[in-house]
Amino acid sequence: MSGDVLTFVQGCAGRIRLNRPKAIHALNTGMCAAVLDALAAWEADAAVGAVLIDHAPAPDGDPKYSRGFCAGGDIRVIAESGAGDGRAAADFFRVEYQMNHRLFEYPKPIVAFMDGITMGGGVGISQPARYRVATENTRFAMPETGIGLFPDVGGGWYLSRLPGHMGEYLALTGHRLDGAECLALGLASHYLPAAALDEAKARIAAAPAAIEAVLAELSVEPPAAAVLARQGDIDRHFAGASVEAILASLAADPGEWAQAALAGLRTKSPESMKVSLRTVHLGRTAATFAEEMAREFAVATRVVRRPDFVEGVRALIVDKDNAPKWNPATPEGVSGASVDAIFEPLPEQEAWKPA
């Protein structure tokens, strides 16, 4: 029981514990494969009544390394692959999406504890769970447009099913939600104080049939969900069929909130915004989660080889100058044909399939 992810049985529960604290538990291919193996073993084990997903604290207790559930995928490795032949990136996405799909379809109840940073791949490993626990530490986001990516790992499915045009707003801006906001939007099923999580896990492991009762008993009243106060503004401005229409709507509104949102969007990759907006729009039409994952796999394997991803990783993660030079530099410069090509289905032999 060692490595980047710990999988073990405690009482009557299978435990998946992310264990890369110095990387904020970012996922790699081996971690996703280990989760798949554990899920397969526990499905056949009648003694395992539920699965719990959480993160390990830093071994030395350093709070700097204890602030996140999962910050996403291992972006540096993906970027290095994308700058070459892209094969390692495609292998990662294939296994990660198989894990996402397996969690989504799993017959036994899963409880994900989103305590701390829950972004990108962390969204993908938590949102398929039947029970999704937020706390006062939760910071939930899909910030991919800032590094030349798009909200994958099922983001098109989850975001498109939020109220109004909240999905478009979160996908384009990468806005961070707190735990109370996650609960209000349905991205979390329960809101517990972080101090109650150990008790919740122990009681669920002892009696998985009592999951709902345990979580209900330990839940507390969350603070007000600030993002709901902006639902009207979000629905008005982010209803546009194109990125250009959304930007124009915000530009025409002199209000402080609209102007701040506009300024934020102008720092994002124009191509990524167009890909992200289409991902949310198409997500509403997906008949099954597997269909969503197959489409996102095709998009992901192409986007990581685009110039904006390499540049975004350079600017925000490697050099950290926070001054990416996007290409094209404006939404108007991103042709519909180029976005169409990114969304083309892959040949059958290359397409994503469930595990």
Residue found under tokens 């993908």: 124
Q: Which residue has the higher pLDDT, 59 or 153?
A: 153
Longest dimension (CA), the chain: 60
pLDDT given at position 204: 98
* pLDDT, mean over the chain: 95
Residue found under tokens 């997903």: 53
Cβ atoms < 10 Å from Cβ of 71: 24
pTM score of the predicted model = 0.96
Domain ranges of the chain: 5-342
- How far is residue 7's CA from residue 17's CA, in Å, rounded to a whole number? 6
Question: What is the mean predicted confidence (pLDDT) over 126-154?
Answer: 97
pLDDT (tens digit, 9 = 90+) per residue, 186-224? 999 999 999 999 999 999 999 999 999 999 999 999 999
Say whether pLDDT at 330 is over 70: yes
CB 301 within 8 A of CB 341: no
Cβ atoms < 10 Å from Cβ of 136: 16
CB 339 within 8 A of CB 275: yes
Most confident of the following: 1-15, 81-95, 104-118:
104-118
Q: How confident is the model at residue 66 (pLDDT cuts 50, 70, 90)?
A: low
Q: Kindly give the residue spans of alpha helices, DSSP state H, lying in 196-350.
A: 197-206, 211-218, 231-237, 243-251, 256-265, 270-283, 289-303, 307-313, 336-342
DSSP 236-248: HHTT-SSHHHHHH
pLDDT given at position 80: 87
Say whether pLDDT at 157 is over 80: yes
pLDDT given at position 1: 45
CATH of 5-342, one of 2.60.40.60, 1.20.120.530, 3.40.50.720, 3.90.226.10: 3.90.226.10
pLDDT (tens digit, 9 = 90+) per residue, 258-294? 999 999 999 999 999 999 999 999 999 999 999 999 9
**Residues identified as active-site:** 73, 121, 144, 152
Q: How confident is the model at residue 67 (pLDDT cuts 50, 70, 90)?
A: confident
